[in-house]
């Protein structure tokens, strides 16, 4: 791939995007001028300037790597995205659909008819078809299945059957196998006969009948005497995966052992595919992104230029949940309205207690989520973690509690109010530390992703308890 397209640094790529945008803006201008003169759409299409612009746009697009066209499509609003998409040569359609994000892929597929979709899908490998299958209409998939040969159909069906975050969903089938009972010389001749090798291939898979019994790193193949036998040179202790393994554990193994590719085998040790580092890199990036998006309460990846309606739908669930917790916190305050009528300062001070509790608890939660993801937290060390976090909460409670206490005292000239403020801060920080540990650990134990719901639950606890502790103490001690 890298030898047939121009390669671009991010900087030149962004410059390219700006060029395309400028051209599109010019085209919009021409279109508006034609419209204003009252001519029919026909006139626009016949317009010479318009034609020149189209040709220029075409020139700019066709030299780009599919991944770079994908980048440009992501950054364009819907209408212009469609215009550029129509200009892409059909032979690149499949590659580009693979590279864009889910939401942009949806917007592109909407503009394609069945024949175009079939052609695009047929230009891809079976594992790649499986990656975009979720967005393809059911009848296109059916037709694809019937058009593939037996081996490919079986592969596509099995690729479609793996859960999204499994090794099976990330693997591909482009591996090179050699028999264990030959010499390196034979292996070298075999490779030369193949004529072309897959990307990201850093080892051959050594098989005995259909069992995978070793791997032959290319660097060993290249540096060892060709007379040697594969059996003598191959590595027998190698990292392998099963298709049902979790993708994030495989990604950790790739990071730990600096892998470029690894075989995927079934329960009987038969070779069924391979996992490559480029698939792992995409997976790592996508899961980091999706963690970030879901922590902010976005249901799924959102096209920057999606319609208002789609964007709103994507965000409603989270806002609705937060509204419910806010209602509950509001009722906690409501229970103390009598106290607030007597001392309105309480209303002004209470958000400080709740807010700092939330911030502090979020720090704890972030460390715990990370520790859980890396497998650093076990029953044996959980107790120490709790003690440490409570220690930090007490220290912070004494320091920041004093600060806010003095602030309240000076502002309202009321030392007792300052004392209540300080005590409430200390208590709410302790609540925040405990919630920050137990919420993600409980979610993990019940097999939920702790990165997703933890933060909203924590804020719920620190808000409600913060209001309750502060207003409760004030009612008891001050009024």
Task: Note whether 386 binds a second copy by CB under 8 A.
Answer: no
CB 87 within 8 A of CB 57: yes
Structure tokens at 343: 């001392």
Tokens 């939330």 belong to: 358
Task: Note whether 3 binds a second copy by CB under 8 A.
Answer: yes
Task: Note whether 384 binds a second copy by CB under 8 A.
Answer: yes
Cβ distance to a second copy smaller for residue 143 or 290: 290
Task: Note whether 235 binds a second copy by CB under 8 A.
Answer: yes
Which window, 35-43, 112-120, 140-148, 372-380, contacts a second copy (CB under 8 A)? 372-380
Q: Which residues 251-290 are close enough to bind a second copy by CB under 8 A?
A: 252-260, 277-278, 280-282, 284-285, 288-289
Task: Note whether 14 binds a second copy by CB under 8 A.
Answer: yes
Cβ distance to a second copy smaller for residue 143 or 198: 198
CB 322 within 8 A of CB 456: yes
Among 109, 118, 231, 385, binds a second copy (CB under 8 A): 385
Task: Note whether 317 binds a second copy by CB under 8 A.
Answer: no
Q: Which residues 20-59 are close enough to bind a second copy by CB under 8 A?
A: 21-22, 25
Q: How far is CA 304 from CA 14, 67, 76, 107, 318, in A?
A: 17, 18, 9, 12, 18
Q: Distance between CA atoms of 282 and 290, rounded to whole angstroms?
A: 12
Per the DSSP assignment, residues forming a β-bridge with 241 are 264
- Candidates 122, 114, 195, 107; CA nearest to 153 is 122
Q: Which residues 66-125 are close enough to bind a second copy by CB under 8 A?
A: 67-68, 71, 74-77, 99
Which window, 36-44, 87-95, 140-148, 388-396, contacts a second copy (CB under 8 A)? 388-396
Radius of gyration for the alpha carbons in the chain, expressed in angstroms and rounded: 30
Structure tokens at 148: 């593939």
Q: Distance between CA atoms of 264 and 45, rounded to whole angstroms?
A: 53
- Candidates 87, 79, 86, 81; CA nearest to 31 is 79
- Candidates 105, 152, 278, 3; CA nearest to 120 is 105
Cβ distance to a second copy smaller for residue 23 or 118: 23
Task: Note whether 158 binds a second copy by CB under 8 A.
Answer: no
Cβ distance to a second copy smaller for residue 36 or 192: 192
Q: Which residues 174-233 are close enough to bind a second copy by CB under 8 A?
A: 188, 191-192, 194-197, 199-202, 218-219, 221-225
Q: What is the dihedral of CA 410, 414, 415, 420, to 10 degrees?
A: -110
Structure tokens at 131: 């990656």
Which window, 33-41, 127-135, 397-405, 442-450, contacts a second copy (CB under 8 A)? 397-405
Among 268, 338, 413, 446, binds a second copy (CB under 8 A): 338
Helices and strands in the chain: count of H runs, count of E runs = 23, 5
Task: Note whether 13 binds a second copy by CB under 8 A.
Answer: yes
Task: Note whether 406 binds a second copy by CB under 8 A.
Answer: no
Cβ distance to a second copy smaller for residue 158 or 200: 200
């Amino acid at each position: 791939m890298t030898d047939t397209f121009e390669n671009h640094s991010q900087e030149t790529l962004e410059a390219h995007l700006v060029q395309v945008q400028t051209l599109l803006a010019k085209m919009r201008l021409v279109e508006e001028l034609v419209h204003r003169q009252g001519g029919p759409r026909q006139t626009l299409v016949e317009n010479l300037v318009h034609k020149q612009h189209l040709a220029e746009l075409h020139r700019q697009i066709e030299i780009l790597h599919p991944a770079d066209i994908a980048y440009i499509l992501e950054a364009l609003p819907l209408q212009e995205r469609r215009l550029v998409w129509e200009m892409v040569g059909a032979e690149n359609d499949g590659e580009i659909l693979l590279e864009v994000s889910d939401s942009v892929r949806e917007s592109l597929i909407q503009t394609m008819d069945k024949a175009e979709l079939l052609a695009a899908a047929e230009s891809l490998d079976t594992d790649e078809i499986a990656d975009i299958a979720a967005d393809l209409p059911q009848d296109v998939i059916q037709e694809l299945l019937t058009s593939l040969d037996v081996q490919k159909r079986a592969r596509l069906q099995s690729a479609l059957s793996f859960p999204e975050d499994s090794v099976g969903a990330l693997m591909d089938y482009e591996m090179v196998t050699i028999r264990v009972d030959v010499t390196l010389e034979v292996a070298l001749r075999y490779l030369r006969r193949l004529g072309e090798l897959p990307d990201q291939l850093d080892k051959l898979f050594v098989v005995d009948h259909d069992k995978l019994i070793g791997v032959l790193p290319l660097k060993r193949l290249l540096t060892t005497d060709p007379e040697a036998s594969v059996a003598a040179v191959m590595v027998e202790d190698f990292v392998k995966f099963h298709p049902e393994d979790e993708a994030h554990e495989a990604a950790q193994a790739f990071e730990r052992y600096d892998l470029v590719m690894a075989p995927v085998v079934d329960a009987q040790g038969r070779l069924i595919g391979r996992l490559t580092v480029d698939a792992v890199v995409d997976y790592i990036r996508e899961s980091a992104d999706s963690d970030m998006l879901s922590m902010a309460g976005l249901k799924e990846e959102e096209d920057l230029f999606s319609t208002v309606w789609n964007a709103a739908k994507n965000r409603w669930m989270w806002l609705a949940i937060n509204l419910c917790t806010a209602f509950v916190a509001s009722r906690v305050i409501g229970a103390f309205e009598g106290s607030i009528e007597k001392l309105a300062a309480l209303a002004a001070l209470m958000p400080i207690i709740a807010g700092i509790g939330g911030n502090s608890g979020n720090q704890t939660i972030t460390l715990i989520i990370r520790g859980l993801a890396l497998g650093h937290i076990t029953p044996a060390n959980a107790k120490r973690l709790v003690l440490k976090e409570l220690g930090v909460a007490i220290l912070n409670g004494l320091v920041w509690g004093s600060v806010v206490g003095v602030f309240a005292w000076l502002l309202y000239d009321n030392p007792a109010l300052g004392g209540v403020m300080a005590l409430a801060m200390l208590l709410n920080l302790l609540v925040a530390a405990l919630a920050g540990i137990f919420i993600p650990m409980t979610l993990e134990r019940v097999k939920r992703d702790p990165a997703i719901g933890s933060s909203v639950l924590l804020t719920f606890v620190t808000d409600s308890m913060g209001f309750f502790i502060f207003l409760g103490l004030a009612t008891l001690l001050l009024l």
